[in-house]
Amino acid sequence: MGGAVSAGEDNDELIDNLKEAQYIRTELVEQAFRAIDRADYYLEEFKDSAYKDLAWKHGNIHLSAPCIYSEVMEALDLQPGLSFLNLGSGTGYLSSMVGLILGPFGVNHGVELHSDVIEYAKQKLDFFIKTSDSFDKFEFCEPSFVTGNCLEISPDCTQYDRVYCGAGVQKEHENYMKNLLKVGGILVMPLEEKLTKITRTGPSAWETKKILAVSFAPLIQPNHADSGKSRLVHLPPVAVRSLQDLARIAIRGTIKKIIHQETMRNGNGLKNPPRFKRRRVRRRRMETIVFLDKEVFASRISSPSDDNNNSEDIEEERHEEEETKPSELKPDPPVNFLREKVLSLPLPDPLKYYLLYYREK
C-alpha cells in the first residue's frame, strides 16, 4: 500500500505535493483543489487519512486517490460555460471542484447508483455552499445528482461537452460512452485498465490517448430480474436561469471587480495570506506500481535529488527552518471581502442575504 505523493498535513500541503509530482499542472485545476477541503468529504472518524494520496471506501461511499482526480481534472480541459456529466458521481467531491471552473452558465450533472450516496453528496454540497469562504471566490455551477444506473441513461438525453466515468468501463460499453459526447467533447474513463482520454473530433471521428495505468471496480450491469424492464435514467433538464439569478450573478460580479480595483490601488486586501514555507521532502528517483483499494496506478514520481546532494539539502533545510521560526504564529484567517462589501451596502437585509445565497458564514 502506498501513495504516489507524500501525505500532507492539510489540504494545501496535499496540493503542494500533487503539484511537485506534476499531477496538478494548470492554475484552474490548482484553484479548484485548494478551494474544497478533501477532508470535508470524509466521515468524521476517518478524517485523519484525508490528506494521504490514497483511495478511501466506507460502505457505498468512495473517493479515488487525489492523484487520480488530478489527472482526471487536467485531462478534461475544463472551461467556463461547458456541460459536464459525472457517471458514478459518488460523494460529489469531483463534481463540486468541476463546478468551480464551469461557472454560473455551465451544466453540472451526476448519476449515482446508490441512493444513500446521493443523500451524502447533497449534504456535503449543502455544507460547502453554506459554510465555505471559497464559495464566494467563484461563481459556482451547482451539481445536480440523480439516482440510477449510468448504463441506462435515456437515449433522448442531451449530449455533453465533458464526461467522466468513475468505474471501469468494459470494451462493449465504449461506444455507449462515446455517444454521450458532443462533437469537440472530451470523455475520460478507465478503459481496459488504462485511464483513457477520448476526444470526439467529428460525428464519427475520435482521438484516443492513454493517460495512466489504473484498475477500477467495473461498472455494475443493469439488473432487470424484478420487472424485466429497463429503468431509464432521465437526466435533469438544462434549465434557463431566472432573471433574479442573473441579477445576483451580475451584482456579485460587479462587486468583485470593485474589490479587485480597490486592491490594485491599495496593494492589499484580496491577496491570500502567504502559506508558510514547508521543509522540502527529498525523494529518490523511483518508478513504482501503487496498489490501492480497488485502484492501482503507475507512480510517476521522479526527483533530481540523490544521495550525493544530501549534505546540501540538509544545509538548505536548516536555513529554511531558521527563516520561518519568527513566523510560526498562525496567520489571521482570510477575510471574505465580498461578504463584507455586500453587508455594508445600503440595501434591505433580505436582499443582502439573497446576494450571499443565505450562507451561514
Query: With contact defined as beta carbons under 8 Å apart, do 19 and 26 qualify?
Result: no
Amino acid symbol at 231: R
Residue 5: CB atoms within 10 A of its CB come to 25
Amino acid symbol at 286: M
Catalytic residue among 6, 49, 64, 305: 64
Query: With contact defined as beta carbons under 8 Å apart, do 299 and 290 qualify?
Result: yes
Strands 56-58 and 107-112: unpaired
DSSP state, residue 330: P
| CA atoms 265, 266, 267, 271: torsion sign | negative
For residue 89, indicate whether it is catalytic: no
| CA atoms 197, 166, 238, 107: torsion sign | negative
* Distances from the Cα of 332 to the Cα of 11, 138, 262, 269, 275, angstroms: 18, 22, 21, 13, 11
Task: Establish how many alpha carbons lie within 13 A of residue 232's alpha carbon, considering only the half-sphere containing its beta carbon.
Answer: 7
Amino acid symbol at 139: E
Reported in sequence order, the residue ranges of the chain that DSSP labels E, i.e. its strands, are 56-58, 61-63, 83-87, 107-112, 144-147, 160-165, 181-191, 194-202, 205-213, 288-292, 295-299
Query: With contact defined as beta carbons under 8 Å apart, do 286 and 206 qualify?
Result: no
Where b means 16+ CB within 10 Å and e means fewer, 118-151 reads bebbeebbeebbeebbbbbbbbbbebbbbebbbb
**Which residues is 61 bridged to in the sheet?**
58
Instruction: Give me the residue label for grid cell 487536467.
Output: 74
* Distances from the Cα of 100 to the Cα of 86, 112, 302, angstroms: 15, 20, 31
Please identify every residue annotated as catalytic. Answer: 64
